[in-house]
A and B are shown apart, each in its own frame.
Chain A
Amino acid sequence: MRSWLENYLVPLLTVAAFVLIWQVAARRYPPEQFPAPSDVVLAIKELSDNGVLWTNIGISLARFAAAYLMAVVAGIPLGLFLGRFTRCHRAIDPLIQVLRPISPIAWFPLAVLWFGIGNAPAVFIIFLASFYPVLLTTISSVRGVPPVYLKVSTNFGAGAFLTFVRVIVPAAFPGIMVGLHIAVGTGWIHLVAGEMLGAQSGLGFMIVDARNFLRTDQVMAGMLLVGLLGLAIYKAMKTFEKAIGRRWGVAA
């Protein structure tokens, strides 16, 4: 009873209170400047009815999935390699450390120049935003594999390949999962930025487009949907993680 209260009822009340305060506050301003939640709900309905919303959500999710998968496919193997081969890591680490603090958005002018307007610049920016967390956590997970695991493996005469596949990769896996998780967050955040700057479709574009027509209610509708979808992806990721964790024998 108590857990139900804490898990669902209290958060629900918080949200309700937030919406209420928003509604009351919005009355003091013209709707073009600060739309009320009711306006936003109507805007979502309008966008949903004319199909714009679903098309854009589909496009955004597809771009996000493509960019995220590319980041994972590139980041994990590279991270495993650099984590395992300390010398290569030492050689390449300064380069990573210089490139990493550059906001993916700063790449935008070049991205448009190289890839033109369309899917590619947005995908590129989401890719950059997801790639570094995946890469860096993979490297540190491999380097953080407890030495005793490797000692045991060497002691039993396991070769380099067996040690890598059967010891290092599984031992690093929980850490890599953390990176995948962080990358979902950073990637999704940059989705809007990427689509605002270089795309003609998607949720980010929808927000910019609404702004151009001074449809503040639709701007907020877009923002809200970005948040809700982010939450949904996060939850899906958590569920996936728990299932994997159980299989991996680590307490979930």
Chain B
Amino acid sequence: MSETPVSKIQLRNVEKRFRSARGDQQIALSRLDLDIKAGEFVCLVGPSGCGKTTLINLMAGFEKPTSGSVLIDGEPVTAPNPDHIMIFQDYGLYPWRTVLGNVLFGLQARGVPAAQAREKALAALEMVGLSQSIDKHPHELSGGMKQRASIARALAVEPSVLFMDEPFAALDAFTRLHLQDELLRIWTETKPTVVFVTHDLDEAIALGQRVVLMAPQPGRIQKILEVKLPHPRERTEQEFATFRKRLFTEFHLVHQQAAAVEYQI
């Protein structure tokens, strides 16, 4: 078994290389270690090209590492798993299905009996506040409601891990803040492990118990910041500002490094 049994997700020496269109190797992630505890809320932030999306795809099983190991519950991740659900920025809702139909999809895929599936789907929709819109089709919903529906679809199958790849990036600021609070409420109620990718530093500090700051060229972890503030967090408080400042300072450093690398070449 793994040396740290408390780790829900364990990455050891993970490296990911791509071959670019021109044929040269690019290192998307370089020798990366990370441990995430069960029930923890971790945010991955960083500038574009730092490999944060690659990293979440590796954990979710959509991609395989070139070397190193990705373990969840001590088992190597080889493929996507219904116990670890990914939530996408563009929702991935099926336009030909109603909201309820979309939430039912995951349960049908698992062969849950119809009556029981309906019950679970309705409960999940209730949790995200979409009980009034179950018969609507996705094109009738706002962006925020679509993301609620896709979160409900994930919650319905009661996954132990939620992977969220910039889920609120396409939403307007007001909706985004509101959904952040909603997500925290849901997380507090159901306590899945959450890995949340974002490029918004404020979002990372508002949500994460830990914020993993990543740096590009090659993609790596620059700094892990523990945000020791209780949820829900008051975004205007002094302590929040302190963490915000620390993260911004680090982020600035990443940018300077990246710029230096770029201009030296």
Contacts and interface: CB of A to CB of B under 8 A. Distances in A.
Contacts of B110: 156-157
Given A249-B97, A249-B98, A250-B139, A156 B109 contact: yes
A12 interface: no
A166 interface: yes
Contacts, number: 66
A151 B96 contact: no
A151 B92 contact: yes
A248 B139 CA distance: 11
A155 B139 contact: no
Nearest to A148: B92
A152 B90 CA distance: 11
A11 interface: no
A249 B139 contact: yes
Interface in B56-86: 60, 62, 79-82, 84-86
B82 A162 contact: no
B80 A155 contact: yes
A157 B81 CA distance: 7
B106 interface: yes
Most chain B CB within a 10 A radius of its CB, from A148, A173, A248, A251: A148
Contacts of A9: none
Given A149-B92, A170-B94, A162 B109 contact: yes
A32 to B, nearest CB: 57
Contact of A170 (B80, B86, B96, B108): B96
Contacts of A156: 82, 85, 105-106, 109-110, 157
Contact of B82 (A155, A170, A249, A250): A155
A155 B60 contact: yes
B62 A173 contact: no
A155 B85 contact: yes
B109 A171 contact: no
Interface residues of B, number: 26
Given A149-B92, A151-B80, A249-B96, A162 B108 contact: yes
Contacts of B139: 249-251
Interface string B118-145: 0000000000000000000111000000
A181 B12 CA distance: 54
Nearest to A153: B109
A16 to B, nearest CB: 40
A73 interface: no
B232 interface: no
A158 interface: yes
B240 interface: no
Contacts of B84: 155
Interface string A134-171: 00000000000000110111111111001000110011
A170 B100 CA distance: 17
B95 interface: yes
B55 to A, nearest CB: 16
A223 to B, nearest CB: 41
Interface of A: 148-149, 151-159, 162, 166-167, 170-171, 173, 248-251
Interface of B: 60, 62, 79-82, 84-86, 88, 90, 92, 94-98, 105-106, 108-110, 137-139, 157
Given A149-B92, A155-B85, A249-B137, 12 more contacts: A149-B94, A152-B105, A155-B60, A155-B84, A156-B106, A157-B82, A158-B109, A159-B109, A166-B105, A249-B97, A250-B96, A251-B139
